[in-house]
A and B are shown apart, each in its own frame.
Chain A
């Protein structure tokens, strides 16, 4: 299976900080990558698709970039509601797989 590796696995930050975390695929997946946010006890929520396109209703402080094997998600200024776990997910081929996640906490 195509594997997705996220780093770091966790990071501590403060409100207002700019944070960036990465996702790496084990093979070229073009830009077939989505990002999700998950809060405890909730289902994942789609943030970004096609590596850099913001899902409708997602704040513009979120941005994604990358193609091929290396991708990143940036939050330009952390808001209190952004403390959560973020997962990347490829859709290059079945099985669709998720990265291990980056937990953003205070």
Chain B
């Protein structure tokens, strides 16, 4: 049974660094075609893909946020973390981690965590 769960602070101040962690189970991120991704959704908006890490520990970022994001994988704890530097109120959103299965031609976000809401405010 695949599960994912996000954790992190609910409130951060502008210009601080946000660190989110996704703890997953029920699959091996080392298996070919597996990715773990971070996706955020601002209130009333569409989901926005931020970053992903694949089964070979290669990392991918949304270009517009690349300078602020770092994704990393703790293999010993089945956790993937995302840090976002220099946060701004526009970063207020619900942050989801989602498994991506990339086995061409199939490429889907098939399992998601419940999300964690982050408010950026002083």
Q: Mark A70-92, 1 if CB is under 8 A from B, else 0.
A: 00000000000000000101010
A41 to B103, CA, bound (A): 30
Partner of B112, one of A1, A34, A43, A97: A43
Beta-carbon contact of A50 and B106 below 8 Å: yes
Contact B46 A99 (CB under 8 A): yes
Main SS class of interface, A: loop
Contact B115 A43 (CB under 8 A): yes
A49 close to B106 (CB less than 8 A): yes
Q: Are A44 and B112 in contact (CB under 8 A)?
A: yes
> Does A94 count as interface, using CB distance less than 8 angstroms?
yes
Contact mask for chain B residues 103-117; partner A; CB cutoff 8 A; 1 contact, 0 none:
001111110111100
Number of A interface residues in the complex (CB < 8 A): 24
Q: Is the interface of B mostly helix, strand, loop or mixed?
A: strand
List of A residues within 8 angstroms of B115 by Cβ: 43
CB distance from B20 to the nearest CB of A (A): 15
Report the minimal beta-carbon distance from B106 to chain A, rounded to whole angstroms.
6
Of A34, A36, A87, A98, most B-chain CB atoms within 10 Å: A98
Cβ contact of A44, chosen from B47, B60, B107, cutoff 8 A: B47
The answer on a CB contact under 8 Å between A43 and B62 is no
Interface on B for A, CB 8 Å cutoff? Answer: 45-49, 60, 62-63, 96, 98, 105-110, 112-115
What are 22 A-B pairs with beta-carbon distances under 8 A? A1-B63, A32-B105, A34-B109, A36-B109, A43-B112, A43-B113, A43-B114, A44-B96, A44-B109, A46-B109, A49-B107, A49-B108, A50-B106, A55-B110, A95-B49, A95-B62, A95-B63, A97-B49, A98-B47, A98-B49, A99-B46, A101-B46
Q: Which residues of A contact B (CB under 8 A)?
A: 1, 31-32, 34, 36, 42-46, 49-50, 55, 87, 89, 91, 94-101
